Structure 1
């Protein structure tokens, strides 16, 4: 019997997923972990504009896409770097650089691998407690190494974050709207809205449970994509290196058949550094 072909990256995703499941059990068994500080760190990492340096590696696997039942593996490299502008104002910069490996998406027996377009967001965030606000520009940067993996457009637009955070509970949303302003005139214009609505609860051990909904509206193409993503995570250390991990099933709710996957899975490993 001929086995279906899977890319090396998709196999690696499953290996990473099994590792994370074992890692979650290991993390909860650490007797010397300072519970209060672990929960504080979990709360900070739930806040997209916290003054904290982190480098999340977000692994996404989607399967059953389109008429050819395609698969797509994406690792988003997402460093977050804060800058102190004054005693009461921070600038939080967030970068997303996707690396994509996909099969049977653009046609039967096709394969593409490379960088997709990068997104850079800068939030001006006043130091507050309780209600947290952030606002600033978002940029689309055409870094794709293959035509089908990017837009060949440079884009810009506003981004906003509104959230409420108390000890152990984070609720809010972030959103951006990007329009293309330059690039290849033969490619379609970009006019896209994205929002993520999220809620998470942390525990003294540093473990967390949550759920988020991601909505992408392509105004130019008149398409809507919505997924619902429950999550479980935790915090531990490798030596002196603080690491957060998170596993999420990706449940597609709305989307055109040629774009919506049948199912998906996300595993995130975030390296945390002192600011």
Structure 2
């Protein structure tokens, strides 16, 4: 686990330097799809944009719980839109976490494998300015280790409300999931999650923003709130359009059992403009 973490630590500064030096490489010209770099940055800030993307979200957190655990988690997060009509899209978002952690569930413990997946489907009318999305969210028990998952299947509502103008995106998305089936010997799942975000993009495709994430575990009576200022950029590597972003994970509120001392996040997203 430590060797993996050290490799990630060495990797993150490279991403940061790449992003910060990015303006000279960003594409200001429209892509073949007609989208400029800034338009792509705005679409990436919109969770229900009609845009196929595959973000790989790398999260590294230290000082978790009473045993000062360390956790590396990569979330594979494809977004696939479907056109239902001229005025309505269905945006499907998938999150499949792969986790490598040490000293989180106990002293001298180590777990590695898949965690539970989350699948969200937003029905999103085509609008400008105020953007709305509403649909179901599902918890799917895909964990390969007992301590990495709930062994429960869950369902609940999800909602997105945001305002977007050229270069400015502000809004929130939220879901509440309850377990409805699964291993009766495991605790029920009852959790609320919301993400509040503000992003400003530039003609070069660079972006600056801040995000706050709130996770409320009603069953365990624990709350975790993080704040993340971030910097990102759109570029092309070969013929592949990509977005890079990096941010600290600053814990604001959290129970001792789940709150880390600090964390870092780096995102590499593959974009497929339509």
Q: What TM-score results when the alignment is normalised by the length of structure 1? A: 0.95
- Tell me which residue corresponds to 2:199: 200
Moved over 4 A (4+): none
1:12 is displaced (CA, Å) by 2.6
* Alignment RMSD (CA, Å): 1.3
Superposition pairs for residues 103-122 of structure 1, below 5 Å? 103-122=102-121
In the alignment, what sits opposite 2:37? 38
CA deviations on 1:76-100 (whole Å, 9 max, x unpaired) are 0000000000000000000000000
* 1:238 Cα offset (Å): 0.3
Q: Is 1:96 matched up with 2:95?
A: yes
Does 2:16 align with 1:17? no
1:267–1:251 Cα change, 3 Å: same
Aligned match of 1:149: 148
Provide structure 1 residue ranges, at least 5 long, that are not aligned to the other structure: 1-5
Could you state the TM-score of these two structures normalised by the residue count of structure 2?
0.96
CA contact (8 A) 2:26 2:205 kept: no
Indicate how the Cα distance of structure 1 residues 128 and 31 shifts in structure 2: closer, same or farther if over 3 A, else same.
closer
CA offset digits 1:250-271 (Å, max 9, x no partner):
0001111111000010000000
Counterpart CA distance in 2 for 1:255 and 1:115 is 24
| Residues 30-49 of structure 1: CA deviation (Å, up to 9, x unaligned) | 27642881111100000000
1:246 aligned onto 2:245: yes
Match of 1:127 in 2: 126
Q: Could you tell which deviates more after superposition, 119-128 or 217-226? A: 217-226
User: Unaligned 5+ residue runs, structure 2?
Assistant: none
Q: How many residues align?
A: 270
Structure 1 residue 227, shift from structure 2 partner: 0.5
What secondary structure does 1:61 align onto? strand
After TM superposition, list the pairs within 5 Å mapping 1:1-275 onto structure 2: 6-30=1-25, 33-34=28-29, 37-275=36-274
Distance 1:68 1:264 in 2: 16
